[in-house]
Amino acid sequence: MFNNKFFEDLSARLSSMIPLAEEVREGLRTKMEQLLKGSFAGLDLLSSEEFDAQRTALERAEKRVRELEDSLRELSEKIDQFEEQSASK
C-alpha cells in the first residue's frame, strides 16, 4: 500500500499548520498519522506497483480467455463439419 514516509510527510504538514507548543504538536502529528493510516487502510487502496501487477495479471487472463474462445470456436466448427459429414452418409 502506501509507505510510512507518505503518512509522516502528510501528518507533519498538517501539524505544522497549527501553532502549538512542540510537545503538543508532536502528539497531534502522531495522532494525525495514526488516523490517516487507519483511514487509508480502510479504503483498501493499492500502490502503483500493486496496481501494475494486477493490471498485468488481468491482461494475461484476458489473453488466455481469448485463446480459449478461439479454441472453442474451432472445435465447434469441427463438430459441425463432422455432424454434416455424418448426416450426408
User: What pLDDT score does 59 carry?
Assistant: 97
- 30-79 tens-digit pLDDT: 888 888 888 877 787 778 898 999 999 999 999 999 999 999 999 999 99
pLDDT value for 88: 80
Render pLDDT for 6-21 as a digit per residue (tens, 0 to 9).
Answer: 777 877 777 676 665 6
Give the per-residue pLDDT at 1.
53
**What pLDDT does 20 receive?**
59
Question: Does pLDDT of 25 surpass 90?
Answer: no
Q: How far is CA 1 from the centre of its chain?
A: 10
pLDDT at 37: 82
Is the pLDDT at 2 greater than 70? The verdict is: no
DSSP letter (8 states) at residue 59: H
Task: Indicate the burial class of 71 (C-beta count within 10 angstroms; 0-12, 13-18, 19 or more).
Answer: exposed
Domain ranges for the chain: 1-45, 47-89
